Structures are given as structure tokens and as C-alpha cells.
Structure 1
Amino acid sequence: MDGQNICKLLPDFKLRDYIQSYTFINIPYEQASQLDFWVMPASHSRMIFFLGEASLQKIDGKFERIESNGLSGFYSMPHLFVPTQSLQQVIIQFTPWGVQPLLDFPLSDITDTRADLQFIFKSGMDKLRSGLLAASDTNERKRILDAFFVDQYRKTKAIDQRIKALVQNIGGKHGNISLDQLSRNAFLGERTIQRIVHSAIGINYKFFTKLIRLEYVRALLGKNEYSLHEVALKAGYFDQAHFIHEFQSVYGESPRAFHKRQNNQMWNQVESKEPRQQ
């Protein structure tokens, strides 16, 4: 697949505390119909705008039509989407704490599901979508999104700045850090950390660290440089059996089978592509 069909841009500087990137996808159906669009569990949530036909999502073994633009909650398992026509969409990828300020409910309420953006933003969705559709190029779409989100975040309360240091600490250990150790590193009580994480990110500490740890595992597997034993050790698992069990509990298959099936699939390109400045 031509990498030019996927363009990832950094948001306006004022938004980078909240939004990591905008990914613009435009893939003809002839190509899109050959792809498995598996969306993986991650330590950040995503908002998706459909600019073309809706996609199908596999839910409880059945495919359901996704008619509306939506915010995905944190995923505890992979989710399969299938294009019905050409794949034209914008994915807004947030920082771990970037979405919760926009919501009046905990993000954990939509784990493994999604919320309609009309419900979240109340108004402005039709204008935003028509603007994105009418835009002449990707850069204009990016400017439209910047203006929309700057206006939305202007209405929110300031985030608890302690969450940034906590996430940096957790990420520095690739999720392999106990609450007790983080408490000592951050000079904060364990209950305080749990409250900050849940309030700022929307999910509990244990789930968040697990997502970061498994992101690291997928990155190690993708390098094709390490044995499963080495991956388990680098990710901090005390033995390979424990590593395989936890991986299988999320992805439904062994690390080896998962890596073989996922290799060269589209979501790898979406996730691995580095955002660029406009």
C-alpha cells in the first residue's frame, strides 16, 4: 500500500498538550477491501471522522454499520473494522490525558465501545464535517481541526499538571512499575496517584499501565530482533509463560501468531508513521 495514502500531521502548538496527531487516510476501495483494519489497544484514545462511506465493525461476532463519527474508549482487545467503500477518514490521536477534559463522564464508561460525537460536543459537528469535506487539501483540513479543538479546549478546566510527570514515569518503565514504586518516585501517596490517573485519563492505574506495557511488547515484536524469551524479559515479565498468558488474554492468540498475522497490515502503518509539522 502506498504510504502517501496515510498522512500524519502534528496539531497546532497550542493543542499539543492534548492531541498527539491527526492522521488522514485516503485509500481506494480496491486497496482498502484487501486490508484487515484491526485497531489495537493503546494508552491513548482516538476520535474518528468518516469523510466517506461508513465502515463495518465486528461486534460479538457480527458486523455492524458504523454510521456516525465517534470517540473510541480505551480498548482492552483488538477491534476489526471493514471498509464498505473507499477508506476516507481522519483519526485524532490524543495524549493519555487529552480526552477526559472534553467529557462529562469517565472515559472508562465507553471501554471497548464508542460515543457519538454529537453527544459529546452537542453542536458544531455538521459544520465541522462539511468543512472537512469541502477542504481543498490535507493542510486546510488540519487548520479546520485546529480551530475546532482550540475552541473546545478553551471551554475546559485546566488539567492536573501532576499527570504529566506520572505518565512520563510510567512510560519510562514501559508500564512495568508498581504503584508503590511510583509513589516513592513521585512523592505522592498511592491513593492520590490512583485518583489523579482516573480523573485525568479516565481509567484506573492498573489498566493504564497494562496498556503501556503491551504497546512496548508490540514494538519489540515488530523489530524482529528478539526471541519471545528476550521480549518477556525486556518487558519485565518474570517468566515467558506469564508473558504469553497476559498477551493472549488481550489479543486472543500467542505473541508469535499475533505478530505473524499482523505483519505488514494497515494499522501498523497508521501507528508507526511519525507525525510531521505542517
Structure 2
Amino acid sequence: MNYQIIPPPPQLAQHVRFFWVLESEAPYIHRSLACGCPELIFHYKGTFDEVTDPDNREKSFVSGIHGQSQKFRRFITTQGFGIFGVYLYPFAIPHFLSLPADALSNEMPDLDTLLGSEGRILEEKIMLASNNYSRVTLLANFLENRLRKTQPERSYITSLVQDIIHSKGDMRVQQLAQDSCLSVRQFERKFKEYSGFSPKLFSRIVRFQSTLDEYDAKDKTLTQIAYHCGYYDQSHFIRDFKEFSGYHPKVYFDKKAEGTEWRDA
């Protein structure tokens, strides 16, 4: 299995976290975990089905957006595959698509639904590209053109969403509302528009995601991981981890969970 990260050009760094590629010649079961950031995804080789229950599968899109999510989902393919994607900050949704971020929370619309003919043309270009660096150039140019059309302004809320991500969810929501000079209700409404979730839920998801960075921390106990990532006790950590991944963290950190092969690539 090949997993590769490609940094964005400087002009997109405020909206794009990174481009990524995942390729394999073998069948694969993937589990997407709760995440505060959306992804624009293109399956340029092979297709996946979403496993909605043990007896039911639904065809996933060829290209589309996996919105920021508070739940895990399972996908399966019986063939080799190639996926190209871009990992975005959540406020990239209103900036690139002129939609509130929460319109795509827990959703997976295909590119045709989102962008019509413009999306179909982009999909065709990505599919026909000769390599993944060409795909990065194509998608970066597309996103830059979208920004020129929408001309978004940097705001306190977008900066705040970014700060919460980089602080791994370790920020006090009440204090943030006061600093914004907005009422708590106004602040939460505006925050949801640019992050997809309430400040409290978004911070919980970001904190959970920070624990995944400890995947290879063989010398740490679950308690040490919990405290290091800002949880006040191990039971709180276990409860959140099970809610957002479907696994007890011991199963995950013992490398017995499905869909983690890309982390070992």
C-alpha cells in the first residue's frame, strides 16, 4: 500500500491542509473516523461500496466531498484502487463553494451534485491525468480560481477554527465567545457556519483526532495518551474514542483495528 502526502502551494495554505494519495493492488476495507475537516476525493482507479449494515452495501461516489463528520463509516473494495484527495479546513466549504460548512456536515455529496458541469469537467481531468503531481496542479488551479470568484475575507471565526485545529481542541469555548465580542448564541451560530459543528462538538472531534497521532507511540499507556491529548481522565477518553471510531482505543493502538493499513504504509 502506498500513502503519500503532498503539501499545498503557499497561496492555498490558508484553506488546504494537504493533498494526499492512497493506492493499493489489494482489496481493502476502510473505516473513516470522525473528523472536523472535509475532504474532496477522487477515485481514479477502482470503486468502493459503503457498508451501511452487515447485509447492505451502497455504491460510493467516484468523486465528491466527504464532509466533516462526527461519526465513523465503513467502505470496502474487492479490487486494487487509487484515490486522490485534498484535505481542507472546514471554512474552505463556504469559501470555495459558497455554502455554510454545516450544510455538508456528515454528508457525502458527489461532485456533480455540488458543481454540475464544472464538477464533471474537473472529474474528467483528474481521471485522465498522467500522475498524481499533475492531479495536484489541476486541483490547485481549480481551487485558486474558485477563490478568485468568491473573494473570501479572513475573519476572526476562520482564524479561530484554524487555531482550535492546531491547538488540538484545547481552547475554552466560553472565553472564545467573549473574545469575539458576540453573544454566546451569535458566536455558536457563526462558528457552526464556518466549522460545521458547535464549538463544543468541534473541539471534541479535534481532540479525538489528535489522539490518532499517537498511533505509533508504543511506550505510552492509554492514560498517558489521554492526558497528553487533553482528556481529564481515561474513561472520558475511552467514551469519546468509541463514539467517534467505533473501537475501544486499546484495539486501535494495539493495531488490531480495520482500515489502518495506510498508517503503516
- TM-score, normalised with respect to structure 1: 0.82
Residue identity matched to 1:70: G
Contact 2:41 2:84 in 1 (8 A): yes
Contact 1:102 1:120 in 2 (8 A): no
CA distance 1:9–1:77, change in 2 (3 Å) = same
Over residues 34-56 of structure 1, what are the superposed CA-to-partner deviations in whole Å (9 max), with x where a residue is unaligned? Answer: x3322222221111112123211
What do you get for the CA RMSD once the two structures are aligned? Answer: 2.5
Over residues 3-45 of structure 1, what are the superposed CA-to-partner deviations in whole Å (9 max), with x where a residue is unaligned? Answer: xx333222332222211222133322xx2x1x33222222211
Contact 1:174 1:212 in 2 (8 A): yes
Alignment match, 1:254:
248
Alignment match, 1:135:
129
Alignment match, 1:273:
none
**Residue 24 in structure 1 maps to residue 8 in structure 2:** no
The percent identity for this pair of structures is 21
The CA deviation at 1:234 is 2.3
Over residues 28-87 of structure 1, what are the superposed CA-to-partner deviations in whole Å (9 max), with x where a residue is unaligned? Answer: 2xx2x1x33222222211111121232111124422111441111222222221124321
Q: Which moved more, 1:44-53 or 1:219-228?
A: 219-228
Looking at structure 1, the residues matched to 33 and 191 of structure 2 have their Cα atoms a distance apart, in angstroms, of 21
CA distance 1:173–1:47, change in 2 (3 Å) = closer
Structure 1: 5+ residue stretches without partners: 271-278
Alignment match, 2:172:
178
The CA deviation at 1:210 is 1.0
Structure 2: 5+ residue stretches without partners: none
Q: How many aligned residue pairs are there?
A: 262
The CA deviation at 1:104 is 4.9
Contact 1:101 1:200 in 2 (8 A): no
**Residue 226 in structure 1 maps to residue 220 in structure 2:** yes
**Matched residue of 1:36: which SS?**
strand
Q: Which moved more, 1:7-16 or 1:113-122?
A: 7-16
Looking at structure 2, the residues matched to 15 and 173 of structure 1 have their Cα atoms a distance apart, in angstroms, of 21
CA distance 1:127–1:20, change in 2 (3 Å) = same
Over residues 100-143 of structure 1, what are the superposed CA-to-partner deviations in whole Å (9 max), with x where a residue is unaligned? Answer: 32345433344333012112112223322222233222222221
**Residue 48 in structure 1 maps to residue 47 in structure 2:** no
Looking at structure 2, the residues matched to 133 and 168 of structure 1 have their Cα atoms a distance apart, in angstroms, of 31
CA distance 1:113–1:90, change in 2 (3 Å) = same
**Residue 167 in structure 1 maps to residue 167 in structure 2:** no
